[in-house]
Amino acid sequence: MPELPEVETVKRGLIKKVKGRKILKAKVNWNGIVAYPDKEAFIKEIANQTINDIERRGKFLMFILDDYFLISHLRMEGKYFIKEPNEPLSKHDHVIFTLDNNKELRYNDTRKFGKMHLVKKDELDKRPISKLGKEPWDKDLTVKYLKEKLNRKLPIKTLLLDQSIITGIGNIYADEILFLSKINPETKGVDLTNKDLQSIIDNTRTILEKAIEKGGTTIHTYTSVDGITGLFQQELLVHGKKDEPCPNCKNKIIKIVVNTRGTYYCPKCQKK
DNA sequence: AGATCTACCCGCACGC
DNA sequence: TGCGTGCGGGTAGATC
């Protein structure tokens, strides 16, 4: 599933393929994907807009158009493909953009979880990305900042997934970051030391950078339906490794549930 | 009022 | 084989 590194990889791939292209028209085959505005307005307003650039904010892709931002969240399984117009639609192709180079940009989403918002450039503050917290590499992401934001009783695992604090960390990397930081996922935010907070910042950056690097080497796989999952799977240390030996101390990794999210950690290395 | 919790959107994978 | 259930990001709305 796409977390920040995968979204960054998709972004880089899309820039190569569609930057500078004009969207001649759009077709929406599943209304649920288009969250705002309604389908008719979406189709009407996006016609003849040029994709001037593509940016990433947290796990959101942001297509910079002439008068609008197209904000796209892939959620669990969203993918973009470039296809020839005469190629038959795949089962889960839900939004099709016809480009000015006789190609189609197709949004494919097995689980129909993804969302798109088309917003005027001066209306950005009303839409989802306005609430995002610091990007992992933001210079303002400091121990002081985290100390304020994490001064709560919720488990650190839950707080790491809160996109309004640090944006871009998902369920998988949250486990990995806490493992590298030797912090128990159930530790209350308020109980973290300055050293813990610095560890979280450092390890977040390290692991996401490493993952982006990996993503970069397999950039073509974003057009392959099952390509993205396989990539960082091999790199994981604890997530999904129930009953397997901890890479650090060989103790068994255990799985618990923290605020409905499956959570993996080493009880020996990550004591409360 | 602010913090926290819950339901919801979906379809696939898995296990009994 | 067939059915039930867990999964998971973000948001809206409920509740503490």
DSSP single-letter state for residue A129:
G
Indicate the Cα dihedral angle A160, A164, A169, A171, nearest 10°.
60
User: Which residues of A belong to the active site?
Assistant: 2-3, 59, 261
104-143 of chain A touching strand C, CB 7 A cut-off:
111, 113, 128-129, 131
Strand pairing category for A104-109 and A78-83: antiparallel
| Phi, psi of A196, rounded to the nearest 5 degrees | -60, -45
Q: Which residues contact A67 (CB under 8 A, 6 or more apart)?
A: A49, A120, A121
| CA A248 to chain CA centroid, nearest Å | 28
pLDDT value of residue A22: 98
By C-alpha to C1' distance, C11 is nearest to A128
Integer CA distances (angstroms), A268 to A171, A184, A210, A247, in order? 21, 10, 25, 12
Its pTM stands at 0.90
Report yes or no: A28 and A133 within 8 Å, Cβ to Cβ: no
Mean pLDDT computed over A148-156: 90
User: Residue A114 CA to nucleotide C12 C1', Å?
Assistant: 17
Answer for A11: CB within 7 Å of strand C.
no
Two structure tokens written together for A10? 């998709």
Q: For residue A21, which phi and psi values (nearest 5 degrees)?
A: -80, 145
Strand B positions with any atom < 7 Å from protein CB?
A: 3-6, 9-12
What mean pLDDT do residues A120-125 have?
A: 80
Q: Which two tokens stand for residue A219?
A: 């950039």
List residues, Cβ < 7 Å, touching strand B. A 32, 110-113, 152-154, 158, 259
Is residue A168 a contact partner of residue A3, using CB atoms and an 8 Å limit?
yes
Q: Is the CB of A36 under 7 A from strand C?
A: no
pLDDT, one tens digit per residue, over A30-89 is 888 998 888 899 999 999 999 999 999 988 999 999 999 999 998 888 889 999 999 988
Cα→Cα distances A187→A127, A150, A182, A271, Å: 32, 11, 11, 9
